Structure 1
């Protein structure tokens, strides 16, 4: 797993330096160690042969003037396979990248679904659970081999040994653990009404939504073997271990299933109180405002709506490209009804966020060329008034699953209404 900005150059440099230092030490016959985990150098232990002034051992047969007795060839003892401990510099680089990926995703997408302003948790980062100066959460010290979100102090932290052991098995480990703990920080920001009773499994779902959402944004690249590593990590966390229990974290199958819910369907599937419906269904807010979404079919479309795609050169018409030859868009009808006793400005509800595919890629939003001026914006709705507008989204022909998130009536208090379903074939 890699950050799309290319943090691998830092890793390559760290590996090159580590290999050069190790070769110099071996050539000099030096076994070096330095206190502090990040300064450790890989070495071997052993007892060098003793020597005399003559340069040979007293037990040397040549010195005694006798022929050596034949000795049986010893049977080699099988060496157990041990995962190599990670390079400290690479691990620190990976941790920093994973923190940026989690925070970056929630910074970009908080207002896609939730009102108000997103604020990240504090990052305490690595701690040594076996040291005498363990961080405190409330009145309790953090335990070894664990990772935490601490609600009283609003910080996230992870034990050094937990990260070293997990990272030795695969470089997706820091991303999984950090995205999960960030999920707990998100739960604290959403409040009890939007937090599942099985909060550990919900954090897995939010982790899946964040990691694969970051990949959809082009901020994270999944490499060969990464998905297998993620599944293995979730399985390990779901087993009975010193730091997890299936009673509170769920078993392996439950953890993978909830992570997949977020991976395949995004944030909306992770939040029980979020407005979530299918095509043609109606979602009603406590204020009495209701909304529904229905796909109408496909149309050839023109220029993108402002702010949703790169504008064409002034005076030119967007032309067909090999990746988008026909400029065909799915047309959605969005209907809002004002069931409140007061007039309501529904303009913002006409700016949906539309995603497609299992990775939740952002679709280009376009105007419906067949819609009149009055059918492109809700404006102000009187009590009891209902109005429908149409909006298009450019979705690749081979993609069928689409999610339309309509902003809530009150951007400071209401979350988005999300509608997901399958499209008819073209």
Structure 2
């Protein structure tokens, strides 16, 4: 389906998409530290109302992203992945600009929903690289690409907090819009794609997409694995600061300690993802996936027993090293088990499952903590990941990985 006389420089594309994922990751997380404060500034008052609206404006983006991802994935397979990257970056830039102008909570809620509808830079970047990279380098390339959004998400909250303190809340949205527009320009001028548009009548429907797969049950199981990974990650997020406060007692720098413990998994994932991806190219991503899941279970259980924040921080750093391997391993297996023609939709379906996990995980963690306490969240999360170990092992043991020929 790809045809042109000019060869693709996939290494340059990988570098530019990494920068794009970094900028979009930073742009999204820039506004996260003060999202409840902005909700309050828009007129919401009262503890319960503030909590409800903050949770709603946070989760609605993921919910609408889950709905829209398959549509954008189909359009990417028909029109090309670069145009989807451009559409996503420019659309998000405009929405961020409008968010800074919102006058009430309903306008802000609607804009957050539209942000989810117009998103999708990261899955389309994954699909673009997956269809251009030599197959034997897929694990390393997708692992490296994953560090872009992780790096942005790590630096974003720090930068967002500093900017909000210096300039106020609304200007941060305008700065975020500028960052996303830079991402749009980088994509426009630096990314190359040889793509022949496919007539709509020749496109496969969703059922035909799965029918065309050599092992549709395995691909579906990988989607479920992605969902469970995100549920496990998200279940801890809403209770982490409160758990750290319980462990630390009355100390003056609780915000700093909590921020450090929240960030260390991302740092570890940043270090581990490319290396474990490269190892997966040698020994097989399915082995990396299973071992990383088992390692996660063995780290989550003692997290429920820690007595100091530093014990929790060390365990979360080790957990981040394992987490850095999980999603790239799943994505590499998706590359092995699908074709270039349907890569956009396969990655978009996977993104939908990931978004559903992003919505479900925090709700699960908050509900368990409210009923049974913080420590129980880690035990239940370990149980969820243990289920994922057996589910993934059974799914992978039934399938024989059949790599496709390397891209030109």
Q: TM-score range by the shorter chain?
A: under 0.3
TM-score (structure 1 length as normaliser):
0.23
Higher relative contact order (CA 8 A, sep 6+): 2
Higher strand share: 1
Q: Normalization by structure 2: what TM-score?
A: 0.24
Give the structure with the higher percent helix: 2
